[in-house]
């Protein structure tokens, strides 16, 4: 019997680092994203979680790869869209597009994966510092990351007595494409963002992968919102 990590968005950044980490620890890994993970041995299921038509393919892949009884499964809800937008100017279409990937996909994946979750399994949500506070021009991201905390807490309650645990890990500024796209090609902005951590640097994706692996293997953190941000400098 194998341990399986199912990770959304393991084609780069934090998800890719998590795929490499779980695999190094001897787990089998299934990546769900549009691109390939690039980590040798990881099984890629190429899906667009924003498309609304991926359920049957994921269901079939879970049946094929996980079989009737994997030992432990960790589901990591990592894929997300990060767009600049204003809470007073949202269109329904835009809000639905972001929520589809950031919130609806995790909820649906929970249902599809539930039959394979035995005692010792876990569901990890990747939130953000913006799961518990807001900044300007990030309305859909802030909203969806707050909602993930709610979904995690509901998950915890609906898993009472099962021996399955859940956590929302909230990274701070992590050196990935998402952050680079957000900052643009401005070294001074990057330096200023790095200086917002009490350690004066960005977090590496591998550091967040380490926290995710810790959470997957530590049931005591069940129901927690766990900030992993190197300490943020408050101004």
Ligand X SMILES: NC(=O)c1ccc[n+]([C@@H]2O[C@H](COP(=O)([O-])OP(=O)(O)OC[C@H]3O[C@@H](n4cnc5c(N)ncnc54)[C@H](OP(=O)(O)O)[C@@H]3O)[C@@H](O)[C@H]2O)c1
- From the list 47-55, 65-73, 86-94, 219-227, the region that binds ligand X by CB under 6 A is 47-55
Considering the complex, state which of residue 209 and residue 221 has its C-beta at the smaller distance from ligand X. Answer: 209
Site string for ligand X, 67-86 (x = CB under 6 A): -----------xxxxx----
Tokens representing 108 are 């649906």
- From the list 18-26, 90-98, 166-174, 216-224, the region that binds ligand X by CB under 6 A is 166-174
225 within 8 A of 132, measured Cβ to Cβ: yes
Pick one of 9, 22, 117, 215: the residue that binds ligand X (CB under 6 A).
Answer: 9
Tell me, letter by letter, the H, E, C secondary structure of 175-204. Answer: CCHHHHHHHCCCHHHHHHHHCCECCCCCEC
Task: Provide, rounded to whole angstroms, the least separation between the CB of residue 145 and ligand X.
Answer: 7
Give the DSSP letter string of 84-113. Answer: -B-TTS--HHHHHHHHIIIIIHHHHHHHHH
Task: Provide, rounded to whole angstroms, the least separation between the CB of residue 60 and ligand X.
Answer: 17
Pick one of 3, 4, 5, 13: the residue that binds ligand X (CB under 6 A).
Answer: 13
Sheet of 3-8, strands arranged across: 43-46, 28-33, 3-8, 72-77, 122-126, 165-171, 224-228
Task: Rule CB under 6 A: say whether 200 interacts with ligand X.
Answer: no
Site string for ligand X, 90-119 (x = CB under 6 A): -----------x------------------
Q: What share of the chain is helix, strand, coil (3-state, %, to 5)?
A: 45, 20, 35
Pick one of 178, 194, 225, 226: the residue that binds ligand X (CB under 6 A).
Answer: 178
Alpha-carbon dihedral 102, 79, 59, 69, rounded to 10 degrees: -120
List residues binding ligand X (CB under 6 A): 8-9, 11-15, 33-35, 47-50, 78-82, 101, 126, 128, 171, 173-174, 176-179
């Amino acid at each position: 019997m194998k341990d399986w990590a199912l990770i959304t968005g393991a084609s780069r950044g934090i998800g890719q680092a998590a795929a490499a980490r779980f695999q190094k620890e001897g787990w089998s890994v299934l990546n769900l994203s549009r691109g390939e993970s690039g980590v040798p041995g990881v099984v890629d299921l190429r899906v667009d979680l924003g498309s609304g038509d991926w359920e049957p393919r994921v269901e079939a892949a879970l049946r094929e790869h996980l079989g009737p009884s994997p030992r432990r499964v960790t589901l990591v809800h990592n894929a997300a869209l990060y767009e600049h937008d204003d809470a007073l100017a949202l269109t329904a279409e835009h809000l639905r597009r972001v929520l589809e990937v950031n919130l609806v996909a995790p909820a649906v994946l929970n249902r599809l994966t539930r039959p394979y979750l035995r005692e010792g399994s876990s569901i990890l949500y990747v939130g953000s510092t913006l799961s518990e506070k807001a900044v300007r021009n990030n309305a859909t991201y802030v909203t969806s990351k707050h909602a993930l905390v709610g979904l995690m807490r509901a998950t915890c309650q609906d898993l009472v007595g099962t021996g399955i645990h859940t956590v929302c890990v909230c990274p701070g500024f992590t050196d990935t494409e998402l952050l680079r796209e957000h900052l643009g090609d401005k070294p001074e902005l990057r330096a200023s963002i790095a200086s917002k951590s009490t350690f004066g640097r960005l977090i590496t994706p591998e550091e967040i992968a380490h926290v995710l692996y810790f959470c997957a293997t530590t049931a005591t953190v069940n129901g927690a919102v766990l900030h992993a941000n190197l300490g943020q400098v408050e101004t």
